[in-house]
Amino acid sequence: MSTNLALAIAAELRRRGMKEALPSGPGESGSGSGAERRLAGGIGAKKVDVTWATEESGLILACSVKTIMFRDGATANYQKNLTNRRGDLLIETVTLHRRFPYAVIAGFLFLDHGAAQDGTERRKSTFENAFPRLRLFTRRPDPAGRDEQFERLFLVLVDANPQGPSLRAYEVHDKANEIDLDAAFDDMIDLIGERNFDLYDAADGQVRRI
């Protein structure tokens, strides 16, 4: 699933003007291979799920895609994997921000919809527990901000039922308000415009070279 999600996100970026965004699927426009891109980071090289980089500017936008789609066999909930995925996310953003402080880094943690229903009398659901564990790591305000913060970090509940798949998305600092993913991409593009105002215009959810 992570591969398909990364392909879908990269395709959306290309649709919004980032023609070099990777990965690209068979038959899709895009420069380079369909594989995730390996980038030199501040604490070593790192494979990144979705990237938009140019020869002139280097890394402009990266999206880290992580999934928790299966219950832990011992506990019958999703909680154990949450800690592991959080660690993976934070390693990526620290690595990238140390080398590319102006890059916009977004994280997407996709949870099976059952993670909102695995609570018991003794513990909250994994979905509810994710917010206090992740909320410190979103909304990096500027290139001088903390390396471990994402510019935006999203939590997405996925019902992969083939008869009626659905998504419910939230930013990790705000459990109360579901967000529209189109609006989330618009927000990320606004940040690209702010960080790269001398090269790119970001308006109406599209990136245009000045």
Q: What is the pLDDT of residues 137-161, one digit of tens each?
A: 999 999 999 999 999 999 999 998 8
Count of structural domains, the chain:
1
d(CA 123, CA 109): 21
Residue 37: per-residue pLDDT: 59
Spatial CB neighbours of 4, under 8 Å, sequence gap ≥ 6: none
d(CA 180, CA 67): 19
d(CA 79, CA 95): 25
When pLDDT is cut at 50, 70 and 90, the band that residue 28 belongs to is: low
Residue 38 has pLDDT above 80, yes or no: no
Query: Which 3 state secondary structure label does DSSP give 90?
Result: helix
Phi, psi of 92 (to 5 degrees): -65, -45
Decide which of 111 and 42 is more confident: 111
| β-bridge pairing 44-48 and 50-54 | unpaired
165 upstream amide cis, omega within 30 of 0: no
Residue 156: per-residue pLDDT: 98
The range of the structural domain enclosing residue 21 comes to 2-209
Spatial CB neighbours of 141, under 8 Å, sequence gap ≥ 6: none
Mean pLDDT of 25-43: 57
d(CA 77, CA 129): 12
Mean pLDDT of 85-110: 96
* % of the chain exceeding 70 in pLDDT: 90
